[in-house]
Amino acid sequence: MTQTSVPTMTAAARAVGLTKTYGKGATEVHALRGVDLEIRRGAFTAIMGPSGSGKSTLMHCLAGLDRPTSGEVMVAGQPLQNLDDDQLTVFRRENVGFVFQAFNLLPMLTAGQNIQLPLELAGKRVTDETRARAQMIADTLGIGKRLGHKPSELSGGQQQRVAIARALVTQPAILFADEPTGNLDSETSAEVLDHLRRSVRELGQTVVMVTHEASAAAYADEVVTVKDGHIEGVTR
């Protein structure tokens, strides 16, 4: 079921006829069975569904982390199926940001170094401008004073906010978050979700968040419900 009212031009990401099958024969699992979906630009989209329904798989395919068995994915106007591994990697580096449920940060780097990491990987020089931008984002997220600490010295909520800061620093076309609050208590969850929502409102960031908590989905502009590898419905 496609959101026809949204013109294609404004879609940040689009999937057509997406299927994903794991394994072969007796152990075959159909994680996605033909998904058509558009993610609206500048919106906060939540993907919901029961455990094992294929949410993470869908997100991985949309983000170019994994290749679908069949179907097409277009992100920021770029069809992903034609890209080889290196091109895909560079595409992710330039256009996609990630926040995962846990183990988001590299343990041997400080929070500040973790935030700068995507710029480093791209081989970009760390200029005053980028440093100021990183500091601004960190300040906005309330972690400006903790940038010199290693991840193991930060609380779970702080770690997630460092991850969000890192995802925002490259100004990606789209930010994916897979259960970013899965490990957090409700109060800290609320803070983190609030930050994600503010980045949509204030920075015009496109955010796609996978969650199975209705309370988290309440922060979103749109809610896509997945069940058994299908899109069951989209609510605005």
Partner 1 sequence: MRTVLFASLRTYARRYAAAVVAVVAAVALIVVTNALTSATKSGLFAGIDAPFRNAVGAVDLPTEEVTQKYTEKGGWALAASMQPVRTDKAMLGQEVMVGAVSTEKRWQWQELEAGRFPTRAGESVVDANAAKTNKVAIGDTLRVGTGESAVETTVVGLVDAPSMWSSPVYVTWPEMQGWKNPYVQAVLTAGTGDEADKWLNTDDYLTELQTQLNKEVNVVAYMVLIFAFIALFVSVLVITNTFSILFAQRMRDFALLRAMGATKRQVLRSVRREALALGLLASVLGLVVGAVLGWGIVAIVRQLAETAPLGEVALEWPWLLSAFVLGTLTTLVASWLPTRRLMRLSPLAALRPQEGFDVRGAGMFRLGLGVLGTLAGIGIIFVAVGWDDAQTGMLIVLVGCGITFLGVMLLGPALVPGLVRLAGAGLARVAGSPAKLAAANAGRNPKRTAATAASLLVGVTLTTGVLTGMNTIRAATLDEMAEQHPIDIALQAESEPLADSVVGDAKAVPGVADAVAVPGALASVEAEGKPVPVPVVAPPAGDIALRDLTVKPGTMVLSPVAASAFVEDSFEASGEKVTLTVGDRTATVTLDVREIDGAAQISAATLRELTTDPQTYAVWVRADAGADPEDLAGTLGVLAPDAELINGKAQRAWVELQLDVFTWAVIGLLAISVLIALAGIANTLGLSVLERGREHALLRALGLTKRQLRRTLAAEAVLLSAVAAVVGTALGVFFAWGGSEILIGDMLPDARFDPPVLQLIGVVVVAGVAGLVSCVVPSKRATKVSPAEGLALD
Ligand X SMILES: Nc1ncnc2c1ncn2[C@@H]1O[C@H](COP(=O)(O)OP(=O)(O)OP(=O)(O)O)[C@@H](O)[C@H]1O
Is there binding between residue 212 and ligand X (CB under 6 A)? yes
Q: Which does 23 bind (CB under 5 to 8 A by kind): partner 1, ligand X, Mg ion, none?
A: ligand X
48: tokens are: 């919901």
Shortest CB 223 distance to ligand X, Å: 15
Binder of ligand X out of 1, 10, 29, 70 (CB under 6 A): 29
Shortest CB 177 distance to ligand X, Å: 13
| Nearest CA-CA partner of 209 in 56, 90, 68 | 56
Interactions with Mg ion, residue window 54-93 (CB under 5 A): 56
Interactions with Mg ion, residue window 28-57 (CB under 5 A): 56
> Which CB atom, from 28 or from 84, has the smaller least distance to ligand X?
28
Is there binding between residue 93 and partner 1 (CB under 8 A)? yes
Could you write out the three-class secondary structure of the chain?
CCCCCCCHHHEEEEEEEEEEEECCHHHCEEEEEEEEEEEECCCEEEEECCCCCCHHHHHHHHCCCCCCCEEEEEECCEECCCCCHHHHHHHHHHHEEEECCCCCCCCCCCHHHHHHHHHHHCCCCCCHHHHHHHHHHHHHCCCHHHCCCCHHHCCHHHHHHHHHHHHHHCCCCEEEEECCCCCCCHHHHHHHHHHHHHHHHHHCCCEEEECCCHHHHCCCCEEEEEECCEEEEEEC
Binding segment for partner 1 (CB under 8 A), chosen from 72-80, 89-97, 189-197, 205-213, is: 89-97
Binding segment for ligand X (CB under 6 A), chosen from 48-56, 68-76, 136-144, 185-193, is: 48-56
| Nearest CA-CA partner of 203 in 213, 195, 192, 214 | 195
Shortest CB 55 distance to Mg ion, Å: 5
Is there binding between residue 103 and ligand X (CB under 6 A)? no
Binder of ligand X out of 24, 26, 28, 51 (CB under 6 A): 51
Is there binding between residue 31 and ligand X (CB under 6 A)? yes
Interactions with partner 1, residue window 121-160 (CB under 8 A): 121-123, 152
> Which CB atom, from 95 or from 101, has the smaller least distance to Mg ion?
101
Shortest CB 21 distance to ligand X, Å: 9
Binder of ligand X out of 52, 148, 204, 233 (CB under 6 A): 52
